Structure formats: structure tokens, C-alpha cells
Structure 1
């Protein structure tokens, strides 16, 4: 079984049930299944065949869902790309990923015109209409890229029903997800049909997702967290997606209330924005049975404050692109432990090892490694990096974690973010958790900075809601709750922390800023 086949079966079972709502429009499962097949057939008519690579340069929309599942049905490898990347970033992925066709919003046509001369492998550009077709037609007829262009509706109209597509093998590459490239160039994690289907199915079962659920799909669809938890798992389970183009606290509250949503998934920054939103009404969220957090560690103070204010439980989990992504979730049938990423989900093993690959004692920190049907088959065209990441069937995550007696896991920090102060290990998250407890702090990020005496020192960047709070007061607070070597040597108040498009705080951007300042 794979996602395309499972969706087709689900569509037969729940033919007249809404598959999604999007900006006042909706589609039944049967209608969506037909659109997916016609798009897949249309791609085939353009000469796209099984094994080719098609990039999706799209935001949250039905276009993304139809393009993704259409590609999967045709046996094509889909490569989702963040549409706000720069031309250089997009160009690197398109070239490195051997892309043959691109599906993009018509808003990206100027970017395509600028880039296409440097992308000789690309044979087709399919643009999704956000403006009337006559306007778009007038805009593109004189472009040099015009002969390679087709509208999304044209491709769908080329398609024929019924369309079943080729026989898919479970180890065929279904999606290539490019990592955010925290070190060097982005790497393309190859996820197979087995990887994606198993994780979507197991996550759906673990979270008790069913056809009565209405899932808020607000995370970016091009990101693996959304792909599995807010898109694939709902569609496998027969649930209804409530698609929102862009996260907005005001719109989230309104959407949940209007459609009586039952599941919301977000990153910690989203929960912080919802918690801080002045007009946030707990009654608007009363239909939610579950909130899911992932993508970064959720501060315990924020978790407790959010749950107390809105009377809804947050289940924190853990995953990474290379594992499709989910490996852990806090279980729904046992006590949830604040600060924990939960226990291993179905069919997935997690364990903590030392530098020699040996399992460490309970409660001791080490590297988290993962094994299961969700683990990627490697990085695209990067055999050495693949061999370093996957050893003896285990994926080495690069995250420092520990496990308690009940096999609940806790992320301590990223291995590369560890700060060593005079020989002592300082984990940024530990310091951040303390600072988050201060009532005037909205957000905080901690990084290591060069220090001539200690090797490194701790530096904190803080967003405060109280303009009267000063560095001295916050330092005194830290000294009361942290060992001396963990207390920040510097505290910088800023208006906003740098984040990526999923809302994840970018420590590396702060670290680069510190390094540049120190170098002057």
C-alpha cells in the first residue's frame, strides 16, 4: 500500500465527505480523487513519466494537494520547495534535484523568466492561477519561457479518466525533501512510498485520527511536519483538512470556531502567538480535542500557560525530515509529561547512545538514533553523507536526548548547539527554559559566543513585553535559578527573533550576528 492507493480507497469509502475547506471553497473526497487522477494523466500527456522529478513551488492550497498526489499517482518524485526562497536557493535545488517540471503559482512567473536560462533540464513550467487566465496570458506571451509554460487548468483538462498510473514499488523514491542547510548546502532526503505511507498511517493511529476529525492545516505544506501530520495522516484517515494559506492568530481562532476543528498542529512559535493574542477567546478553541507541537522544543512554561488559558491539551512530539518525520509523540492513553517528546510511535524504535554507539544508562544524555520503516533511504546523490547519517540501519539524528524509566524521551539540545564553558556543558534549552519562566519574557534564544578565557560564553536574546525590564534584573533572576557557569554573560533585548517560514527560531542567524560583532 502507498499514499496514492490508500487515498483512492479512502475516497471510495467517504466519497461525499469534504476532503478540505479552503477560503470558502470545498471539495469532496471523490472530487479530489478525480482531480488528482486527471492531473497525473495530464502530466503524462506532457511527457512526464515514472521516475522523473517534479518540483512544487507552492504554498498551502488545493493546488499543492492535487500536484503532490498527482505526482505520487504517476510514480513521479515530488520535490516541495519553499516558495519564498531566493532565486539562488531555488536554482540550487532545481539543478541538484534533476527537476524536469515545475509547478508554481503564477506569481512566480517573473522569477521563472529570470531563472529558466540557467535550468536547461526543465522542460515544463505549470503555473497555478491566482489571477484571471486572460490577464496571465497577456503577461506571459512575450516571455522567452512561454513555449515551456502551461496553466494548471490546461494540464488537468489534458487528463483522462479513469487513470490508475504505473505499478509503484514501496522502495521507489516518492519525495525528496531538502534540509534547511544549517551546515553547507541543503541535502535532499529521499523518502520512499513506504516511508511516507507508514509514517502517515502510524501517526494517524497514534493520535486516534478518524473521519470525524477536522484538522487545521496551517503549517507550510512544503514542510515535512505538515506533510505527514496535517495532510497525509488526515487524508489516510478520512478526516477533513481546514487549509489556511498563511498562519494568522486571528484567522486561526475564527477558523477553529467556524468549522469546529478538532485537531491543531503547530510549532512552538505559533502557540506563543496564539497565547499572546489579545483577542484570543478560550471558547473559540473548545471544539479542539488535541493540539500537537513539533518542529522545535516547546518551552514548558508556554505549554502550561497555553493549556491553562485555553483548556486544551498539547501533545509534544519529535521528528526530522530524514524520518518522514515522526518518531515520538506523547501518548494519548497515558499521562503526558511536560518537557518530554513522548514515547516511540508504532513500528519505530528510538534509543540514546554515546560516541561509540553504545546505549547509555537511563537518565544519561547521548545522541538520539532512530530505526523504522519511516527512515529515509539516503540523501540524493550524496553517498558519503548518507553513510554517515545511517549506520547499521539506524539514523543518527544529531540531537542530544535522554530517556526516563518509563521510556519517555527528552530532547536536551542539538549536538551542534552545545555550549562548552570552561569545560562544562551548557545546553541552550536549559537556560531558555529558565528565562521563559520570567513573567515579562515573550521569547528567548540562547547561543554560545567566543570567550578568550572560558572558550565559550552564554549569550541570550530576549523579546520582552515589559519595556521596564532591564539586563541587570534578568541577570539576577538567572543567577537565582542557574549554576554560575550557565548564567548568560550577555543579554540582548530585541524586537523579534529571527525565524524560518515554519516559525522555528534560527539560532544560527543570531550566532552569525554575534560572530560578526566580535570580529569588528
Structure 2
């Protein structure tokens, strides 16, 4: 079974039930399935064969859903790419990923024109029309050198047949290649098989009890694995309706939740922070939600409690990574949830904590989190040595430091590479961040290690506070001294208007480190 085949089965079962809502439009399962088949047929006629690579440079839209499921139905491997990456970043992934066909926004056509010579492997570009501003100069694509490679999405889908017969796919065939963020070098392509993608979407949907009565908000970027699995594939596999939101805005989320009576919202901690801080928001704004899901980064306990108290809706925090399709843990819905924990292993997935030798450590001790299950990637694209290092004896080494309690709940302590060593003592940034988040004037915080002549490293905090509060460095340092050992207390605190974030809203510690080192 694969997700595109399952969509076809759901079209037969659910027929006219809405598969997605987008702005002022909607599409039934039957209509979506027909569009997917047309796209797959048109791709095949274009010369895309089983195993060829199709890149998606798209935001949240029906185009993304149709292209994703259509390419998979044709037997192609899909490579989702953030459309706001720099030309250099986009070019690297397209070339390294051996992309044959690109489906992208029409806004990117000038980029393809400029980079045409640098992208010899890209044979065709299917562009998706976007609304034009009144003062925007129209682009005459017929005058471009890449014009012979260009096809509009609408006409392309229209050229295909809904009677397309999909090729036979094996569960170990590569379905999606997700390029990791590359914080320690060039991004690596995690190869996810059809088995990886389908099993994790199904297990996640079942674990969170997502079913045909749910309406799930998809505002996280679809090119990111969190949204891809939790807010798109999982709902469509179990007959839910997906509410596609082009970009996150707290005001829009409140409006959309009420208008569509949404039942599930998935977001990163930063989004929850924006929702809590939104003026005049109250419990009525999210009343229809039965569940909120948090992932992508550790959620500060103080933020989780504030959100739940204000809106009276439970937040289930989970954990995942691209290499695991991504979900490995979630806080259960039918057993006690533990704030600060990423929960327990989901069905069919094993998690454990090991030492440097790969041996499981006693309950409560900190070590590296490793994962095993049908969701673990096949390996990194064209990187056999990195693959062998990441997957050992069937276990995926995550690079995250964690501990497990007596009841099998896991707690992320920090990223292994983010740990700060002060005079030989380990300091986990998250522990310091949790304390600062509990200060009533603090809105956002990020902690990093900086070079120190005496102790090797020192703790530095970047803080965003409420504008109306006159908070000083001395006040926050004294607050930390009340809750932290002396070596964990920040040696310096820098106040910022906002913290740097990626497109999913995850705070970028790497940018802050670069800021310090380049100062």
C-alpha cells in the first residue's frame, strides 16, 4: 500500500466528501483523485518514468497536493523544496537530487531563466499561476530562453486522463527525498520509501485518532515533513478534510477555526506563542478544536500551560525527524500526558536511549535517542558512508540527547551538538530556556554557548520581552540564580525585537551563534 493508492480507495469510499478546503474553494475526494490521475498521466506522457525525480517548489496549495500524489502515482520520486530558499540553495538540491521535472510557482520563472545553464538535468518546468498585484509588470514568458521547457499547471493537468493506470510500486521504492536543513554543512537527502511514508502517516493518524469526522488545519509548510505527514497524509489516509492555509497568521487561525469548525491544529511552539499573545483572544476562538499537536522543537512547559489554560484545549507534544518520516513519539490521548515530555513510542516504532557505545542506559539517565521501525529512512541519497553512520544495526541515531522515565515517557534534553560545556559541566540550553520562559515578561528565548577564556564556554541568552515591561539584564540574571546552579546562569543576556526563525517557525540557534562569532 502507498499513500496515492490509498487516496484512490478513499475516493471510492468517501466520494463527494471534501478532501480539502482552500480559500473560497473546495475539492471532494473524487475530484482530487481524478486530478491526481490526470497529473500522473500527463507526467508519464512527458517522459517521466518510474524512479525519475520531480521537485516541488510550492507553498501550501492544491497544486502541492495534486503534484505530490500525482508524481507518486506515476512512480516518480518527489523532492519537496522550500520555495523561498536562495537560488544557490535551490540549485544545489535540484542538481544533487537529479531532478528531471520541477513544479514551481510562476514567480520562480525568472530564477529558472537565470539558472538555466546551471541546471542541465531539469528538462521541464510546470509553473503554477499565482495572483498578480495591480502594479506588477506582466512577464512575457515567450521571450525567455527556457520557454520551450515551460508548461502551465492548469493546461498540464488538463492534458492528462483520469483513467491513468499506475505502475506497480514496491514498498521499498523511494517515494520522497527530504533534504535536511544542513546546519552542519550541505543538506543531505533522506530517502523515504513508500513503506516509510505510508506506515508513519497511518500510525500517526491512528495514534491521534484522526478520522473522517476531523477537519485538520494545515498551516505548517507542506514542504516540511511535519506538515506533510501529520497535517496532510495522515488526515487524507483516514478520510478527514484538510483545511489548507497558505501561511500562518494567528488572526487567520482563529477565523478559520470558527468558520470551518476545525477539530485538529498542528503547529510549532512559536505558533502557539503567537496565539497566546494575540490581543483579545479567548476560549471561544478555538472552541471546536479537540486536539492541538506540537512538534518541530521542544515546547516550553510554561507556554504549554499558558495555552491550555487560556483556550482549554489539550496540546499533545510529539517528536520526529526527517529521517524517521518523521514521527516516533507522541503524548497519548488515552493516558496521562506529561508536560515537557515528547510522550511514548507510537505504535510500531521503538525508541530507546543509549550511551556512546550504543548500549541502553538506565531509566532517568541522559544519552542519545535512537529509533527503529518501518518509518526509518532507507538512507541518505548518494551518501553511503553518512547512511551507515546514521543507521547502525537497524537503529537510527538521532543526534538528540534524551532520557526516559519509569513509564516509558521520553524527554528531549537537547541537541547533542547544542550542549554547552562550562568548566567541565554539561549545560543543556533547553533547561535554561525553560527557566527564562517561566518569567512573566519573557516572550521568547534562545540559549547558546559562546567561547570563554576561563571556562571553555559560557552561557548566553537572547531574549524577547513584552514591550510594556521594563526588564533589565540584572533582573533576569537574578531570576535565573533562583532556579539554576551557578554555572548554568547566563553570563550575558541580549535583548532582541525578535528571534531568527526558519519557515516552520523554529528558532535558529545557528544564526545566533554566527551572529556572535562574526561580531
Shorter-chain TM range is over 0.9
Report SS of the residue matched to 2:353: strand
Q: Which residue of 2 aligns with 1:369?
A: 370
Deviation of 1:405 (Å): 0.2
CA distance in structure 2 between the aligned counterparts of 1:408 and 1:34, rounded to whole angstroms? 43
Query: Aligned pair 1:238/2:239, yes or no?
Result: yes
After the TM superposition, which residues 370-409 of structure 1 pair with which residues of structure 2 at under 5 Å, given as runs? 370-409=371-410
Q: Which residue of 1 aligns with 2:41?
A: 41
Deviation of 1:161 (Å): 2.6
Query: Aligned pair 1:54/2:54, yes or no?
Result: yes
CA distance in structure 2 between the aligned counterparts of 1:410 and 1:164, rounded to whole angstroms? 46
Query: TM-score w.r.t. structure 1 length?
Result: 0.98
Q: Which residue of 2 aligns with 1:23?
A: 23
Query: Aligned pair 1:130/2:130, yes or no?
Result: yes
Q: Which residue of 1 aligns with 2:472?
A: 470
Deviation of 1:142 (Å): 0.1
CA distance in structure 1 between the aligned counterparts of 2:414 and 2:436, rounded to whole angstroms? 16
Q: Which residue of 1 aligns with 2:116?
A: 116
Deviation of 1:5 (Å): 1.0
Deviation of 1:116 (Å): 1.4
Q: CA RMSD in A?
A: 1.1
CA distance in structure 1 between the aligned counterparts of 2:109 and 2:280, rounded to whole angstroms? 38
Query: Aligned pair 1:225/2:232, yes or no?
Result: no
Query: Aligned pair 1:252/2:253, yes or no?
Result: yes
CA distance in structure 2 between the aligned counterparts of 1:365 and 1:338, rounded to whole angstroms? 18
Q: Which residue of 2 aligns with 1:501?
A: 503
After the TM superposition, which residues 442-481 of structure 1 pair with which residues of structure 2 at under 5 Å, given as runs? 442-465=443-466, 466-481=468-483
Size of the aligned set, in residue pairs, is: 515
Query: Aligned pair 1:515/2:480, yes or no?
Result: no
Does the CA-based 8 Å contact 1:471-1:491 persist in structure 2?
yes
Deviation of 1:480 (Å): 0.7
Does the CA-based 8 Å contact 2:35-2:162 persist in structure 1?
no
CA distance in structure 1 between the aligned counterparts of 2:205 and 2:262, rounded to whole angstroms? 16
Query: What's the CA shift string for 1:26-60, capped at 9, x where partnerless?
Result: 00000000000000001111111111000000000
Does the CA-based 8 Å contact 1:106-1:136 persist in structure 2?
no
After the TM superposition, which residues 36-435 of structure 1 pair with which residues of structure 2 at under 5 Å, given as runs? 36-131=36-131, 139-435=140-436
Query: TM-score w.r.t. structure 2 length?
Result: 0.98
Deviation of 1:129 (Å): 1.2
Query: What's the CA shift string for 1:297-335, capped at 9, x where partnerless?
Result: 000000000000000000000000000000000000000
- Structure 1 residues not aligned, in runs of 5+: none
Report SS of the residue matched to 1:184: coil
Deviation of 1:437 (Å): 0.3
Report SS of the residue matched to 1:381: coil
CA distance in structure 2 between the aligned counterparts of 1:192 and 1:279, rounded to whole angstroms? 45
Does the CA-based 8 Å contact 1:45-1:158 persist in structure 2?
no
CA distance in structure 2 between the aligned counterparts of 1:210 and 1:279, rounded to whole angstroms? 32
